C-alpha cells in the first residue's frame, strides 16, 4: 500500500468508550450495560439525524441519548448527576498502545476524523495527552452531518490534499469502516472484539487486532 497519510476515528478507536464505566459509577449502579446502551443510542441518533437532514452536534446527540437511556432504564439521576455523566465524554481514556502506535507512523501526517464536535475533540485529545500528535483535527461540524455520510470522509481527502487510496482510515467501528471503504479510502479495521464483519459489501483492506499492528502493514 502506498500510504502517505493516516486518519483515525476517535471514540472507540483511539479512546476506549468502556472507560466511561468508571466515570459513571458514582451515579449508576450497573455501569457496563448503561454505557453500552447509551453508546448505541448515541450512534443511532447520529445516523438518524444524518438521514433526516436534521443536524445537531455530537454533544447534543450524546445528551439526548443520555436522557433516553436514563428514562429507558428507569434510573433516578438528578441534574448534577446528568451533568457528571455528560462530562465523562470530555475525558475518555486512550487505549494503552495509542501513543506508541501514533509515534511509529511518523513522519506521515496524521488526522482525527470524528463525529465529535470541536469541544469534545479538543478536550479529549488534551486530557489523553494526544493534542500534539495530529496535523488535522476534523469534526463533522464542518459539513453538518454525521458518519457514514461521504461528505465526512471527504474532509480527509480535502485536508490532506491526497488521492483517497493514499489515505489510510483507521476505525474500530465496523459501520464506520464500511462507510470509509465505500467512499474510496484505504481502510484498516481495528477489530479488538473479534466481531463479525458487517454485510454491507464494503470490506476493509486490513483487519488488525490492535493499533500496534499498524506498523507491520504501513512500512514504518
**Mind telling me the catalytic residues?**
9
Q: How far apart are CA 46 and CA 152, in angstroms?
A: 13
Q: How far apart are CA 206 and CA 64, in angstroms?
A: 34
Q: What SS3 state is found at 167?
A: strand
Cell of 50: 444524518
Q: What is the DSSP letter of 93?
A: P
Q: Which of 104, 111, 220 is nearest to 170 (CA)?
A: 111
Q: Which phi and psi angles does 29 have, rounded to 5°?
A: -75, -50
Q: Are 179 and 200 in contact (CB under 8 A)?
A: no
Q: Are 61 and 49 in contact (CB under 8 A)?
A: yes
Instruction: Give 91's contacts (C-beta < 8 A, 6+ positions apart).
Output: 23, 123, 124, 127, 128
Q: What SS3 state is found at 91?
A: coil
Q: How far apart are CA 179 and CA 10, in angstroms?
A: 15
Amino acid at each position: 500500500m502506498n500510504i502517505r497519510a493516516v486518519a483515525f476515528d476517535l471514540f472507540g478507536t483511539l479512546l476506549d468508550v468502556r472507560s466511561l464505566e468508571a466515570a459513571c459509577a458514582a451515579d449508576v449502579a450497573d455501569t457496563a450495560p448503561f454505557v453500552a446502551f447509551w453508546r448505541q443510542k448515541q450512534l443511532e441518533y447520529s445516523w438518524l439525524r444524518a438521514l433526516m437532514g436534521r443536524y445537531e452536534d455530537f454533544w447534543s446527540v450524546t445528551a439526548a441519548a443520555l436522557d433516553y437511556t436514563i428514562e429507558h432504564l428507569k434510573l433516578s439521576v438528578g441534574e448534577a448527576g446528568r451533568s457528571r455523566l455528560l462530562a465523562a465524554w470530555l475525558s475518555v481514556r486512550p487505549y494503552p498502545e495509542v501513543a506508541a502506535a501514533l509515534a511509529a507512523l511518523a513522519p506521515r501526517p496524521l488526522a482525527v476524523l470524528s463525529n465529535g464536535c470541536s469541544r469534545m475533540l479538543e478536550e479529549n485529545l488534551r486530557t489523553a495527552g494526544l493534542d500534539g500528535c495530529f496535523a488535522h483535527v476534523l469534526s463533522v461540524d464542518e459539513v453538518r452531518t454525521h458518519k457514514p455520510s461521504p461528505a465526512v470522509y471527504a474532509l480527509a481527502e480535502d485536508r490532506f490534499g491526497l488521492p483517497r487510496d493514499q489515505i489510510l482510515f483507521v476505525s474500530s467501528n465496523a459501520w464506520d469502516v464500511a462507510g470509509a471503504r465505500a467512499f474510496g479510502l484505504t481502510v484498516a479495521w481495528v477489530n479488538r472484539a473479534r466481531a463479525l464483519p458487517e454485510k454491507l459489501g464494503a470490506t476493509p483492506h486490513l483487519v488488525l487486532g490492535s493499533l500496534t499492528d499498524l506498523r507491520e502493514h504501513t512500512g514504518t
